[in-house]
Amino acid sequence: MQSLEAELEEARQLAVDDLADAIESIGFECTRCGACCTGEAEDDHTATVFPEEVRELEASDSYDGDYDWRDVARPMPYGLSATDDGDLEGETFEWALQTDGCGDCAFYEEADDGTGACAAHDDRPLICRTYPFSVALAGTSQPMGEAVDEEGVVRAHECEGLGRDISRTDAEDLARALKERAVRELEEAIAVRDEYEPVDPAPGEIVIHDSEGAKRADGTPLED
């Protein structure tokens, strides 16, 4: 198994043209169905967001500075346990986009005609910009779906927008974002590994480990 550093170098060497070829071969156009922005059954929507992406959303001109960390992100729920009161506690890694009371992404809006829209579309995280595609390298988000290219590097998740015509320009834009996401995911994974120091959270407390160290649920450093 390659080291994360080796995988990062591989991600940096990905050819945008090759990624675009794979995307173009299957085709994609967003139908605004909202499936990638909403929760499923009893599972809330979960999309990884990097610390710097949280701050970019906080500072976006679209929201006039009205958002704080908790409006944008929540602790990734995996690995946390429920208290007797139904709250979560424990240690986890990384952040997920915040959800509303229905378990949908907090930035998801649905029009009267049933089509979906993103209130943070211009500032949306890389995982949203690249859906339904992912790059299958160790250290990146766990690849799902079918391989698009012969090497199995590009994967396509289930999405009703697949199979639709896509222009070369749009395929290349998506490919560049896909490469950037793969690089940043690996950079984040390496930094999380290097910064990680185990802690013993107090009862009812959540500690989140990201590339910047251990944090509280409001995004402030644990050491403060």
Any domain includes 176 = yes
Cα torsion angle, 101, 102, 105, 109, sign: negative
**Residue 186 host element (H or E):** helix 168-195
Count of domains observed in the chain: 1
Tokens of 149: 């290219």
Any domain includes 223 = no
CA distance 155 to 19: 10
pLDDT in tens, 15-60: 999 999 999 999 999 999 999 999 886 788 999 999 999 999 988 7
* Amino acid at position 5, single letter: E
The whole-angstrom distance between residue 220's C-alpha and the CA centroid of its chain comes to: 20
Any domain includes 105 = yes
Q: Name which of 83, 141, 219 is nearest 131 in CA terms.
A: 141
Any domain includes 64 = yes
137, 11 contact by CB (below 8 A): yes
Domain of 145 in residue numbering reads as 4-215
Any domain includes 224 = no
Tokens of 47: 């999309």
Any domain includes 220 = no
Return the pLDDT at 94: 95
Any domain includes 177 = yes
Q: State the residue for tokens 């499936």.
A: 35
Each residue's pLDDT, cut to its tens digit, for the chain (224 residues) gives 689 999 999 999 999 999 999 999 999 999 999 999 998 867 889 999 999 999 999 887 666 667 899 999 999 999 899 988 888 999 999 999 999 989 999 999 988 888 889 988 889 999 999 999 999 887 676 556 777 777 778 999 989 999 999 999 999 999 999 999 999 999 999 999 999 999 999 999 999 999 999 999 999 999 87
- Other CB atoms within a 10 A radius of the CB of residue 4 amount to 19
Any domain includes 222 = no
